[in-house]
Structure 1
Amino acid sequence: MKIEQVALITYTIRDFIQTPEDFRASMKKIADIGYKAVQISGMGHDVMPAEEIAAVCAENGLTICATHEPSGMILDEPEKVVERLKKLGTQYTAYPFPRDVDFTDAESRNKLIQQLDKAGAVLREAGLVLTYHNHANEFYKWDGKPALQHIAEQTSAENLHFEPDTYWVQLGGGNVVEWCKMLKGRLPLLHLKDVGVREGNTPIMHEIGYGNLDFKPIIAAAEESGCEWFIVEQDSCPGDPFDSLKMSFDYIKANLVS
């Protein structure tokens, strides 16, 4: 993994990107930390035109490596997703969360899988890539396999790739290294998020290197599977999220990049 492949998802700083002025200031802070790429997420489409987002990122030397787009838009209006990604100048987006999907119900989960495959085909035909971002609920099992495995097996490898999240794979009971291997050839994006435990026996999201995940074998497995972007995410931070993002970046730079 090269330092140029390390990105962050703007969902971590979502409270600081809700106006054009705040977005500009935040992108400068991110660039000053040392990040060279961002995944756009956590801001409504009405905050700034896509072309303006792309211009601000370019001014700060930040590549837009991917986005998260609304779940409903991806499934029901993939053509709009294509239009937005073209304006942002990025190849990848991720289906962020299976809203209104019940993995215990065969009809509900099968509908999602079919819709993902169809939406992915629309993006593929436009030269773009749809990925799937997991949480812990994708590790609900039926027929002896977690939902995430069914999604992978029942969609075309050409139409749907993946953006596994290290924290949620671990929390769901999966093995992060093995999942990176299993998704070989369909793993352009990886969310880096560390796992710890707070007093009271509940999990907590940590800055990279400050929790309990062993990232060296995770990174190695992801690289072997063709990962292009390693994206830092921390849904909740103990203080200023920019401080947490700097802690993660500094740890990665000192310990994980080659």
Structure 2
Amino acid sequence: MKLSQVALQLYTLRDHCRDAAQFAATAKRVREIGYTAVQISGVGPIPESELVAITRGEGLSICATHEPGPKILDETGAVIDRLQALGCRNTAYPNLAGIDLADAGQLETLARKLDAAGARLRAAGLTLGYHNHACEFARFRDTTIFEYLLSRTDPRNLVSELDTFWVWYGGHDVVDWCRRLRGRLPFIHLKDYGITVGNHHEYREIGAGSLPFPKIIAEAEAGGCEWFIVEQDETPGDPFVSVRQSFEYIRDHLVS
């Protein structure tokens, strides 16, 4: 992994991206930390033209986005237009909100719609990923929800934006999943996992938790991963301090 492949998921800084002025100040600080790419998610209603002007002006590329799940499935053309306006190739279905996981019919419909949306994006030269949480590792029939969705979609139409924290929290081996997703993992969320003295899980800066990131990155890179995206859903204090800590650990310990 090269440092130029390390990006920041702006959801981590969502409270500092509510309007164009905030976004511009945030982009400047992100670039000063050392990141050269970002994923657009959790930002305010800022026109695509402004997002592009601000990020390019600071020397940042937009490597990916998250778009609302229903919009991906039912307004795929609008998603394609947005990605093209942003000059961005990758997006991801962000979560299973609104899906009854106990309803096999809803999961079957979701798989069918993901495959169809992914085919349309692929025809436009774009990539649809699936961003997992832990619930996808619940059992479904004789497998897990995650494995079911992957098996019912064409790998050319739906890839994985694997989230390392949630794989681990869901009771699975992140390195093993990177291996299983070879050729289907163009981007990954790097998010560390910690346990408090009160036996509660918490999000940690990269290198401050339990996950074996050297092995994770080596396996993801061997499988063709292009973007390694830092994300921390919640931080113990100033989120800019946390994203700097993660970047510096990656720079000093994980890049080739």
TM-score under structure 2 length normalisation? 0.99
User: Within the alignment, does 1:69 sit opposite 2:90 as a pair?
Assistant: no
Partner of residue 120, structure 2 = 122
Instruction: Report what 1:158 is aligned to.
Output: 156
Over 3 Å off, 4+ runs = none
* Residues 99-110 of structure 1 mapped to structure 2, 5 A cutoff: 99-110=97-108
Query: Equivalent of 1:141, from 139, 142, 160?
Result: 139
Secondary structure at 2:218 match in 1 = helix
- Identity over aligned residues, as a percent? 51
Report 1:1-258 matches (<5 A). Answer: 1-44=1-44, 47-258=45-256
Distance 1:206 1:235 in 2: 9
Greater Cα offset, 100-109 or 54-63: 100-109
SS of 2:119's equivalent in the other structure is helix
Amino acid at match of 1:149: E
| Range 169-178 or range 138-147, more displaced | 138-147
What is the CA–CA distance in structure 2 between the aligned matches of 1:119 and 1:197, rounded to whole Å?
Answer: 38
Structure 1: 5+ residue runs without aligned partners? Answer: none
The one-letter amino acid paired with 1:53 is: L
Instruction: Provide the rounded CA distance (Å) in 2 between the counterparts of 1:153 and 1:181.
Output: 16
- Write the distance in 2 (CA, Å) between the matches of 1:199 and 1:114: 43
In structure 2, distance between residues paired with 1:183 and 1:145: 16
How far is 1:197 from its partner? 0.3
Displacement, 1:171? Answer: 0.2
| Offset of residue 51 of structure 1 | 1.5
How does the TM-score come out when normalised to structure 1? 0.98
Structure 2 unaligned segments of length 5 or more: list them: none
In structure 1, distance between residues paired with 2:67 and 2:243: 22
Shift of 1:103: 2.1
Is the deviation greater in 94-103 or in 66-75? Answer: 94-103
Shift of 1:186: 1.0
User: What is the distance in 2 between the residues matched to 1:126 and 1:159?
Assistant: 11
Q: Cα deviation per residue 1:93-144 (whole Å; 9 max; x = unaligned)? A: 0000111112222111111111100110110111100000000000011233
Amino acid at match of 1:101: I
Secondary structure of the 1:73 match is helix
One-letter identity of the residue aligned with 2:27:
M
Distance 1:144 1:18 in 2: 43
Q: Is the 8 A contact 2:9 2:231 kept in 1?
A: yes
Query: How far off is 1:158 after superposition?
Result: 1.0
Letter in 2 for 1:32: E
User: Is the contact between residue 189 and residue 229 of structure 2 (CA under 8 Å) also seen in structure 1?
Assistant: yes
Deviation per residue, 1:128-187 (Å, 9 max, x gap):
000000000000112332111111111001110110000000000111011111111110
